[in-house]
Amino acid sequence: MLTDQISKLTTGATVALMFSSLMWLQPYLAQLSTTYQLAGTAASALIAVGVYRLLAGGLLWLFKKSRWLRKKILGNGFLEGTWVGHYLHGTEHRFTIEHIDQTSGVTVIRGREFGNDGRTRASWSSDTVSIDLARMQLVYAYTCKVFERKHVQQGLGVFSMVSEVSGEPANKLDGYAVDLIDGDPDPNTEFKILDKEMKDEDAISKARVIFGVPAA
C-alpha cells in the first residue's frame, strides 16, 4: 500500500517537474538540429528516471521520520499506534493490547493479552498483514504463544476498520481472532487510544475506563 501511494505521488511530481522544465527549454530546443534534439530527448528520459528515484527515496525517508506524513499518505489505512480490546472468557475479564507499527511502510502488529489481575496470558506478532481499504477490513496471520500451553499457535485475525470520526482514519477494530488449531473464534473489539506506543499499565488503565471494568 505504501509503495503504491509513494509511486503515485512521485510519478505525479516527476511528470509535473519534467513538463515544466521542457516547456521552459522548448524555445532553446527548437533551435537545435535534429540530432541534438534526439540527444536532448534521451537525456530528458534519463534525468526523469533520476528525479523519480530521488523523489521516491526522499519521500520514503520522510515517511519513516514523520508520523504526520505517514498519516497523510496512508489515509484510511493509517492504523499506527496503541489499541486496546476487551472480552469475557466465561466470567473473567480479559484485555488485549496491540501495538501497530507502520514506520517502514510494512504494517507490523505486536500484541499481548492480560487477565483481570494484570498478568500476561499470551503474546503474538503478525506474520502477514492485509489492509483492504475498499472493504475497510484488516486481516492478518499471526503466531501466538499462550503461556499456559506448551505449543505455539498459528491464527488469523479478521477485523472491520471503523472510523467514529468523519474524515479520519479508523479508531475502532471490530472482529475476531481464530486459532487455526481449534477453529474457535474469539470476538474482540479494539479502540485506538494513542497514535504511538503506550506503556502496558497505562493502556490497561485506559481500557478499564473504555470498557467499564473496575480494577481487580
Q: Is residue 70 part of a domain?
A: no
Structural domain ending residue among the three candidates 65, 88, 113: 65
Query: How many domains is the chain built from?
Result: 2
Q: Work out the burial of residue 86: count CB atoms within 10 Å of its CB; fewer than 13 is exposed, 13-18 middle, 19 or more buried.
A: buried
Strand partners, 162: 172
Return the pLDDT at 4.
57
Return the pLDDT at 146.
84
Identify whether residues 196 and 109 lie together within a single domain: yes
Return the pLDDT at 123.
94
Q: Is residue 30 part of a domain?
A: yes
Identify whether residues 83 and 161 lie together within a single domain: yes
Identify whether residues 99 and 52 lie together within a single domain: no
pLDDT digits (tens, 9 = 90+) for 61-115: 777 888 998 888 888 999 999 999 998 888 889 999 999 999 888 899 999 999 9
pLDDT digits (tens, 9 = 90+) for 152-204: 889 999 999 999 888 889 999 999 998 887 777 888 899 999 999 999 999 99
pLDDT at 56 over 70: no
Q: What is the DSSP string of 11-31?
A: HHHHHHHHHHHHHHHHHHHHT
Which residue range(s) make up the domain with 193? 76-211
Return the pLDDT at 8.
60
Cell of 123: 503474546
This prediction's pTM: 0.75
